[in-house]
Amino acid sequence: MLMGAGGGLWYVQHLKSENEILTLNNAKLNDAVDQQQAVIEQQLKDIEQIQTINLQLTETNTKLTADLQLAEEKFNKVNASGERRDIGNLALNKPKSIERIERKREQQRARCFEIAQGSPLTEEELNATKKSQINAECTNLANPNYIPY
């Protein structure tokens, strides 16, 4: 009789401890679900950020390609009479003025290198809207508010 009662008591105790463990396990599983949810949310944020960064890089590359295209065009510009600009010929005829122009361009090139390295744009550069105000060497970098006309 006593043995039976003792066995029953032991069984009940055992069930209680099992129940406690199961409760704890359940709480842990809930935590795990929350954590997984947080991980998924973070991953979604990361994907969004990666897409934004890729878009920014693509935009930068487009601007840079345009600047290179501009450099190509500068030397091969075709005038109204259909002749291709020949800087050699221009320099032969007007060495002084071409020298002046190229010296100015050299200064602009130097400034473009500074901007490329992360130098902030000056007020003048930001406000440049006229052809005479822009940095002709890297307009896309130096004068974001300039619209070609």
Site for other proteins, rule CB under 8 A: 2-3, 6-7, 9-10, 12-14, 17, 21, 24, 46, 49-50, 53, 56-57, 60-61, 64, 67-68, 71-72, 74-75, 86-88, 91-92, 95-96, 98-100, 102-107, 109-114, 116-120, 122, 137-138, 141
DSSP 80-104: TTSPBP-HHHHHHH-HHHHHHHHHH
- Radius of gyration (Cα) for the chain, nearest Å? 36
Task: Give the nearest distance from C-beta 62 to other proteins in angstroms.
Answer: 11
Task: Give the nearest distance from C-beta 140 to other proteins in angstroms.
Answer: 10
Nearer to other proteins, 118 or 148 (CB): 118
DSSP 90-147: HHHH-HHHHHHHHHHHHHHHHHHHHHHTTPPPPHHHHH--SGGGS-TTSHHHH-TT--
Task: Give the nearest distance from C-beta 52 to other proteins in angstroms.
Answer: 9
Question: From CA 148, how far away is CA 81, in angstroms rounded?
Answer: 22
Exposed, middle or buried: residue 121 (CB in 10 Å: 0-12, 13-18, 19+)? middle
Nearer to other proteins, 119 or 129 (CB): 119
Nearer to other proteins, 125 or 146 (CB): 125
Residue 141 CB neighbour total at 10 angstroms: 18
Nearer to other proteins, 44 or 116 (CB): 116
Task: Give the nearest distance from C-beta 137 to other proteins in angstroms.
Answer: 8
Task: Give the nearest distance from C-beta 82 to other proteins in angstroms.
Answer: 20
